[in-house]
Amino acid sequence: MQSQGVFISFEGIDGAGKSSHIQAVADAFRQEGRQLVQTREPGGTPLAEKLRELVLHDAMDPLCEALLVFAARRDHLQQVIEPALARGDVVLCDRFTDATFAYQGSGRGFDLAVLSQLEHWVQAMPDGGLRQPAMTLWFDIDPGVAAQRLASARLPDRFESQPRAFFQQVHHGYEQRALADPGRFARIHADADLPTVRQSVLDALRQRGYLSGAAE
């Protein structure tokens, strides 16, 4: 029997440490015999990766930024995410539309109603529904702690180089999205040490029934 596709996104401010946990989640699904697609936004297709380079490194106004991340998302959905879900795969996506509401909306102060309109155009499904992840793991971290982690990281891009106040706003944006959709969001306390965070991530996936109850 074919498995049902599952779409899971990973979100959080820069420095929250989410990327290091995506591999552990992928390993856990593979151990259960699931076919898996590991991808990211902006990006995930040749076109979307080109758009990612522009968004992360070229100066532009917030409308341009929003249009480019949604253009990348459209291509990513059509080329990668929808086909994978139709095959019954697990799709693990490092960021999705909540990032646009948090970064372009709360961070840059861009009109949330326009973002909502774009979300409805880009993520519309043939049955009239809206494509969203089934579950979103939100790595919630104090922006001060995240900034310390980032200080030792690689050369910052246009977002990573923003001041602390920007990340406080982005954090607030994630909080608003999580409050608006508590059934989809699982809040992970990402201030903790790596093994503890990893355990919370796997526990959250088991609680929602996406991974079996067996210990790792």
Residues at the contact surface with ligand TMP, assessed by CB under 6 A: 14, 40-42, 69, 94-95, 99-100, 103-104, 159
DSSP string, 38-102: EEESS-SSHHHHHHHHHHHHS---HHHHHHHHHHHHHHHIIIIIHHHHHHT-EEEEE--HHHHII
| Burial bucket for residue 143 (CB in 10 Å: 0-12, 13-18, 19+) | buried
CA 209 to each of CA 100, 127, 130, 166, 189: distance values in angstroms, whole numbers, following the listed order: 27, 25, 22, 35, 20
24 versus 206: smaller Cβ distance to ligand TMP: 24
User: Measured between alpha carbons, how far is 7 from 91 in angstroms, rounded to an integer?
Assistant: 5
89 versus 94: smaller Cβ distance to ligand TMP: 94
User: Measured between alpha carbons, how far is 192 from 194 in angstroms, rounded to an integer?
Assistant: 7
13 versus 211: smaller Cβ distance to ligand TMP: 13
- Nearest approach in angstroms of CB 202 to ligand TMP is 21
User: Measured between alpha carbons, how far is 157 from 119 in angstroms, rounded to an integer?
Assistant: 25
166 versus 210: smaller Cβ distance to ligand TMP: 166
- Nearest approach in angstroms of CB 201 to ligand TMP is 16
- Nearest approach in angstroms of CB 101 to ligand TMP is 8
Q: Strand 36-40 to strand 90-94: parallel, antiparallel, or no bridges (unpaired)?
A: parallel
100 versus 136: smaller Cβ distance to ligand TMP: 100
- Nearest approach in angstroms of CB 103 to ligand TMP is 3
- Nearest approach in angstroms of CB 42 to ligand TMP is 5
61 versus 203: smaller Cβ distance to ligand TMP: 61
- Nearest approach in angstroms of CB 160 to ligand TMP is 6
